Structure 1
Amino acid sequence: MAFIKNFLRFIIICTILGTFAVVILYFYVKPELPSVAVLKDVQLQTPMQVFTKDGQLINQFGEKKRIPVTIDQIPQDFLNAILATEDNRFYDHPGIDPIGIVRSAIVLITTGEKKQGASTITMQTARNFFLTREKAYMRKIKEIFIALHIESLMTKDEILALYLNKIELGHRAFGVGAAAQVYYGKDLEQLNLPQLAMIAGLPKAPSSLNPISNPTRAKHRRNVVLSRMLVEGYISQAQFDDASKAPITAKKHGAEIEFSSPYISEMIRADMVARFGLDGAYNNGYKVYATITAKNQAAAQKALMDNIHNYDHRHGFRGVNIYLWNSETDTAWQRNEILSYLESVNEIGYLKAAVVEQIDEQNAYAVLKNGNSITIPWDGLKWARPYISHSRQGKPPETTSDILYPGAFVWLQQNQDGQYKLSQMPDVSSAIVSINPQTGAIESLVGGYSFELSQYNRATQAKRQVGSNIKPFLYSAAIEHGYSLGSIINDAPINSWNSAQRIAWRPENSPPNYDGPIRMRRALAQSKNVVAVRLLRGIGARETVDHLLKFGFSPEDIKPHEALSLGAASLTPLEVARGMATFANGGHLIEPYFIDRIEDAEGNIVYKSQPLVVCNQCSAEEVRDSFHYAPRVISEQNAFLIADAMNTAIYGEPGWVGTGWRAKDLKRNDLSGKTGTTNDIVDTWFSGFNSQVITTVWVGFDDAGKRLGRVSYNNNLSRNQFAGGESGARTAQPAWLDYMREALRGMPSAPIEQPEGLVSVRIDRKSGLLTKKTDNSSRFEYFIKGTAPTQYTQQEVPNLFDPYTTTTDSGKTTEELF
């Protein structure tokens, strides 16, 4: 009995001392213990995702790849695999596993090494959030206390879900949702048993046991997981046998991008970093919805790339840059050598990398990067006449050997019929931007051929000379200063002597045709350069600049000199489109924007765009005093008259066509447009719109001094063929047409509505005076009330060619105009 009493006394004393030691230890480490209450409102580091307005993922930004999932979204097989491998008594213990602790202690006593940590899933969660992976006794003690706190605050399912969303699983994948995407390119519920077991085995050593870095070790670890599931009764022997023999199917996958649009997504990334900082933007799980739609953006990207390739092919084949072997002196490479080389090549845009293995008289036989053997028929080769210079091309080829030989590394395009065509990496650049003129929402934006080749966004960053795209703004200034679309301006050569510089300035029309006195409407539609110069002189350079600045242009870009009338100002495509939108919306200056809304990780809207919208029915005071309306910068009558004159640039008049006549191919009557070509054909433009969409296209070289040049006709090309110089109509407008054909599909006619304050009278198309004739020599013209002509052509009309006596209906003599 004495022994029993002493033993019980010893047990009680040890229990008291142990309890006392635990209490002392708790209070000793308590100041270092974090508050686990934050786990109830945990913010997982989730990457930012960027979507189109209609919900397609276009990019993802963040250091850590994470796709949060709820416990209900996780397959039961995966939960069983994790529990069997990491903590099979998870739902039975209070956060610490006494059996596991005893087992770990025995290992430590018998081996002297800390081989088993006895960490439960709750303890691992505590370590993942608050501690390090250091194998130290104090860390383990803290881990235990934090685990007990966690168990008191959260349910088992909440703890398990938090653990599975937080845990690192290799290749920057954090959480099981991201791991499924990274290794298999699928959602977690789409994985089979071997794949689920593979991911369940990663927590032990994600960097060395993952199937990409070490497939052999990963397969062994997967089978360990499967064997644990078999022992615990989660799977049958037959399931184990099938799953353990399954091959490794994992490979590296990126984010599940549904539609790539890198230029606009980079604009959004920069904006989000400015709003929330780098860490906040990248790790707080924001979902950003752009203003672009997938339909319009895809159309813009295709239109730009097709147009660039069409230009490139018109100017000839620049030749093969790389031959892997000399077909006359070297032994041809083996297929495995060719594929090894192609594996290192990064394919860009439409272009597919290939190596030519054989040729015959009018065919080439090549192997693609994927190992497929293909034929390049003569129809895909015959376009490739030699490029000599930007304005010279060689003779069309007659046989394949005129173009290339075996061993050639080449770029190919695949046509819609599946046939391959020889191509080349484009040298020319382009940009396209499309805006809703009523709100400023960017409908589509492409800053270049390939973001991989150049992240320079030409739509927003490239200030290039705008050429005749400046003329609508200049003509608007003329309307503001008393001119009308019926005003007569002399389309005749100008020869101005500068006595200070002792040189003569002789601006010319392009082409150098002159029609004598013509109406302003026709001069704008046919882009008459000398008329633009005379208008600027009539208005005054300073007054012209003051008017142009109303369209949102920077004073640094608009200078008061006569070359301004010919488009010497340098603007970005976005700036041009924004200015042109003023004519499309009745005279208001909209503010372009590209983010529609921002949601946080829980789906709450943290930002919603509130654009300055157009209100033509509002009074001037309402527009001026409201924070919701875009400011009016020109009168509604002025905007309508310029848009209507630009409509004539497309549809023309009897006897002549405007420079934008190709837009008639769209078979609509609601379009207005303007071409633009600079001196020496360095920059080409086309801007066109109706009341619902304005689109601007620029084409040129990044080297601002390089000319787009001229071409001779190539019978071997089918699309966009012509002979002569490149221009806004020939070079930029085709991309505009291809894009607008899709953007306008299904859109009802949306013309610019005629405002009040205008009158329409029939005038003589030659003199601009009133007429009673109803044949093709006349037309109805719009005038602001009080500016319409009062004389008829039957009355005596002064000699219109006399610059010193002729008077226009603006009240100014042509001497003043010239």
Structure 2
Amino acid sequence: MKTLFKYISSIFFSICLVLFFIVLMLFARELKDVPDITQANLQDPLSSEIYDKNLNLIATVGAEKREYVSINDIPKNITEAVLTTEDSRFQSHIGIDPIRLIKAVLVNIRSNSAQQGASTITQQVVKNSLLTSDKSLQRKIQEAYLSLKLENRYTKDDIMEMYMNKIYYSDGQYGVKTAAKYFYNKELDQLTLPQVALLTGMPQQPILYNPYDYPKQAKERRDTVLYALLSNNKITEDEYNNAVNTPITDGIVEKTKEERANQHSYNPKFAAYIDQITKELKENQNFENIKDPLSMGLKIYTNLNPELQIYVQDMLDNQSAPMRRHASQAAISVLDTKTGLIEAIGGGKNYKAGGYNYAVDARVQPGSSIKPLIDYAPGIEYYGWDSQTTFSDTPYQIAGTNFYIQNWDRLYHGTVPMSRALAWSYNIPAVRAFETVGYERAKHFAEKIGIPVSKDEPTTAIGGNVDGVSTLQMAGAFASFGNKGYYNKPSTIVKVFNANGKELPNMKEEPVKAMSEETAYLMTNILKGVLTSNGTSPNGKVANFDMAGKSGSSTFDDSAFYNHGIDVVNSTKDSWMIGYTTDYTVSVWQGADMVDSAAKALSSEQAQTTQVIMADIMKKVSDKKIPAAFEKPAGIETKNGVEYSKERNTETDHMYAGSDKDAVYQAAIAQKQRENRSPLTTVFNSLTNSTQSNRTQNQANSRTITGNNNRTPSTINQNTRR
């Protein structure tokens, strides 16, 4: 029996020894990259630096607003409030608090959620100074280990002083002394009890408990702190009652949105671009759960073209030539066609940091500029259409209504090829192309190039019911035509290094093959016609540049006339022009930010400047360098004088199978039309296009082309000339 016991004991001991070494190895592995506790590492985070495309430092941002205060100068009532709320056993634990940890686990298990945390003040100092906010096991092990080391190396007062100067209060404010001045314009010893309670509670969720933005939540958090003080006999019941009945706004310094946003120092003309950098950082997975990435001592290398950015923003602010002065808004986005990297962002007239960025955030109707994206390019990609594929331009009544789609010239043109339908931006052929492609197929194609489509209606085809787009979205979409079918999500950021000099991964999304190179080439060749005398936007052409583009516009509905006296026939609501070369893509929008006065309507002269602005900026960004021509891909063949792709994309063949929108069926029609087409057909279409140009050019120059996405008379018009 003893022998058996010894044998079992030996096995048990061996197992324990093996487990011990496994755990030891696990901890050793997790701690191998643990940072050192040094004075430099414990210093408060550095501000971040932003560099332009020429590697010049153009902004130091995220500089923490912090006025350091010694622990000896912090009133006792403030430290007591913090300890009572955050870490009541701070003076007795060793950096980690097993009792609090067990309690937190039990509470969270009971509630089936993470309602209570277990981090001590020491652990929070370690996390804010040495680690990230990542909730991985490795980070938790490192945090516990470093907390023990920190307690061994520094006194409790030292650690408390670090904490009180590191905690974040939102709006770029760090440290209790800074927060007291920012929110109350007071020294620490001048704060009232409810003010102390608010500042004590805010760091738990500084954004949510900001009294400027969320006064209700801020009061609830303040009152929680007051109750904790009452429960621990730190204040009397009378003090508690008086404090909880004090308005949360009591003593708060009033600040405008601009005053709160203006926490950084840089050329104000860069504000729209830098705001987009901030947005991209916050959306990036590297900064998940990070309150303020710009306060992490980053080095951010961008594609900002400083001269162009100043030029673009100056044009908007001063409404200088070629822009014409008007009361509504405007936005501009400029991309590198090949990379999708943003050269400049004109966020709106007189843009201020933290403002509404019309180039990025606006969602306005694209008008006819949407036609290549959802009507024609999908047909080239999935059906094998070419520039001479024809569409019926005859009366079109919207099913179930008395409304008719109408062209800008109020005429019907019989059977027209795609090249002429796009060059002259006719509506009816576009609607028929959209119907033939099918909503699901158009949506599939458009979303691959960053354009949302959610309404299956005829007017979607002409920009009337698209979800709304920004100049940045449209620039990204059209750049994919100029980039051989590859879509790059527009981005300001080239690369980012953390405070330790390590480059962060995945800062920019990888290019997506959105369409074939052949589709991009064929679409580009067609859109070159838009910028000629046989198209709607000859003023968008830059001499000697191989470039393509598309205009678009929308008009006001009749309520604008009844409510504000706007001439809905001869006024434009949204005016668009997007142009691209192999080097750059420029997207320009001018239009009514809100319909509240007749002054917001663009006149004919004002709307016509949109294409001129695009061409002007294209020349500026190209800096006198003529771009390389668009290359013909190997998959292009020619039949009867017309280029087409010898292969089509079959990925949507499962859609609409067996119907008129069946891709195999439509591809056969396209092929048959190509085979039956004689060389004379192309010549005839070209001559017809030239005749159309001569017949309508004077008309186009003498009046505004009307259009309306939301009209209620018996016809629906859409401006397709701009």
Unaligned runs of 5+ in 2: 1-35, 77-152, 154-165, 167-171, 175-186, 188-261, 557-571, 647-670, 686-722
Query: Are residues 635 and 705 of structure 1, via their aligned partners in 2, closer, same or farther at CA, if it must alter by over 3 Å?
Result: farther
Query: Are residues 447 and 710 of structure 1, via their aligned partners in 2, closer, same or farther at CA, if it must alter by over 3 Å?
Result: closer
Q: Distance in 2 between matches of 1:131 and 1:542?
A: 68
Aligned residues: 435
Secondary structure, counterpart of 2:266 in structure 1: coil
Partner of 1:579 in structure 2?
A: 477
Secondary structure, counterpart of 1:288 in structure 2: strand
Q: Retained in 2: the 8 A contact 1:684–1:731?
A: no
Partner of 2:549 in structure 1?
A: 673
Counterparts in 2 of 1:304-343, with a 5 A limit? Answer: 304-305=316-317, 307=319, 313=325
Q: Retained in 2: the 8 A contact 1:687–1:697?
A: yes
**TM-score normalised over the length of structure 2:** 0.52
Alpha-carbon offset, residue 673 of structure 1: 0.5
Answering whether residue 378 of structure 2 is matched by residue 477 of structure 1, we say yes
Q: Distance in 1 between matches of 2:75 and 2:432?
A: 81
Counterparts in 2 of 1:783-802, with a 5 A limit? Answer: 783-785=644-646, 788-792=674-678
Answering whether residue 396 of structure 2 is matched by residue 518 of structure 1, we say no
CA displacement 1:423-464 (0-9 Å, x = unmatched): xxxx31111112223222122222211233981112221111
Q: Distance in 2 between matches of 1:432 and 1:710?
A: 17
Query: Are residues 269 and 526 of structure 1, via their aligned partners in 2, closer, same or farther at CA, if it must alter by over 3 Å?
Result: same
Q: Distance in 1 between matches of 2:397 and 2:40?
A: 79
- Higher Cα Rg: structure 1 or 2? 1
Q: Distance in 1 between matches of 2:277 and 2:64?
A: 17
Partner of 1:736 in structure 2?
A: 614
Answering whether residue 351 of structure 2 is matched by residue 451 of structure 1, we say yes
Answering whether residue 461 of structure 2 is matched by residue 565 of structure 1, we say yes
Partner of 1:46 in structure 2?
A: 46
Alpha-carbon offset, residue 669 of structure 1: 3.1
CA displacement 1:454-505 (0-9 Å, x = unmatched): 811122211111111111121112223243211233334x24164x44x2x2
One-letter amino acid of the structure 2 residue matched with residue 572 of structure 1: V
Partner of 1:264 in structure 2?
A: 273
Secondary structure, counterpart of 1:736 in structure 2: helix
Secondary structure, counterpart of 1:570 in structure 2: coil
Q: Retained in 1: the 8 A contact 2:269–2:314?
A: no
Counterparts in 2 of 1:57-456, with a 5 A limit? Answer: 57-58=58-59, 60-64=61-65, 128=70, 132=73, 257-258=266-267, 260-273=269-282, 275=287, 281-305=293-317, 307=319, 313=325, 427-452=327-352, 455-456=355-356
Q: Retained in 2: the 8 A contact 1:468–1:567?
A: yes
CA displacement 1:151-179 (0-9 Å, x = unmatched): xx9xxxxxxxxxxxx9xxxxx999xxxxx
Counterparts in 2 of 1:697-712, with a 5 A limit? Answer: 697-703=588-594, 709=601, 711=603
Answering whether residue 582 of structure 2 is matched by residue 691 of structure 1, we say yes
Secondary structure, counterpart of 1:261 in structure 2: helix
Partner of 1:509 in structure 2?
A: 407
Secondary structure, counterpart of 1:571 in structure 2: coil
* Higher share in strand: 1
Secondary structure, counterpart of 1:444 in structure 2: strand
Alpha-carbon offset, residue 526 of structure 1: 1.4
Alpha-carbon offset, residue 255 of structure 1: 6.5
Q: Retained in 2: the 8 A contact 1:312–1:428?
A: no
Alpha-carbon offset, residue 754 of structure 1: 0.7
Q: Distance in 2 between matches of 1:521 and 1:670?
A: 17
Answering whether residue 389 of structure 2 is matched by residue 487 of structure 1, we say yes
CA RMSD of aligned residues (A): 4.4
Secondary structure, counterpart of 2:478 in structure 1: helix
One-letter amino acid of the structure 2 residue matched with residue 792 of structure 1: S
Query: Are residues 726 and 37 of structure 1, via their aligned partners in 2, closer, same or farther at CA, if it must alter by over 3 Å?
Result: closer
Secondary structure, counterpart of 1:465 in structure 2: coil
Q: Retained in 2: the 8 A contact 1:587–1:632?
A: yes
One-letter amino acid of the structure 2 residue matched with residue 632 of structure 1: K
Q: Retained in 2: the 8 A contact 1:673–1:689?
A: yes
* Higher share in helix: 2
Alpha-carbon offset, residue 297 of structure 1: 1.8
Q: Distance in 1 between matches of 2:329 and 2:335?
A: 21
Query: Are residues 562 and 706 of structure 1, via their aligned partners in 2, closer, same or farther at CA, if it must alter by over 3 Å?
Result: farther
Query: Are residues 594 and 706 of structure 1, via their aligned partners in 2, closer, same or farther at CA, if it must alter by over 3 Å?
Result: farther
Q: Distance in 1 between matches of 2:609 and 2:298?
A: 40
Secondary structure, counterpart of 2:406 in structure 1: coil
Query: Are residues 37 and 437 of structure 1, via their aligned partners in 2, closer, same or farther at CA, if it must alter by over 3 Å?
Result: closer
Q: Percent identity?
A: 22
**TM-score normalised over the length of structure 1:** 0.47
Secondary structure, counterpart of 1:448 in structure 2: coil
Q: Distance in 2 between matches of 1:434 and 1:283?
A: 28
Query: Are residues 678 and 62 of structure 1, via their aligned partners in 2, closer, same or farther at CA, if it must alter by over 3 Å?
Result: same
Q: Distance in 1 between matches of 2:635 and 2:596?
A: 46
Instruction: Tell me which of the two structures has the higher relative contact order, counting C-alpha pairs closer than 8 angstroms and 6 or more residues apart.
Output: 2
CA displacement 1:216-240 (0-9 Å, x = unmatched): xxxxxxxxxxxxxxxxxxxxxxxxx
One-letter amino acid of the structure 2 residue matched with residue 464 of structure 1: V
Unaligned runs of 5+ in 1: 1-35, 67-124, 136-152, 154-165, 167-171, 175-204, 206-252, 316-426, 613-629, 712-723, 762-769, 771-779, 800-818
Q: Distance in 2 between matches of 1:794 and 1:691?
A: 32
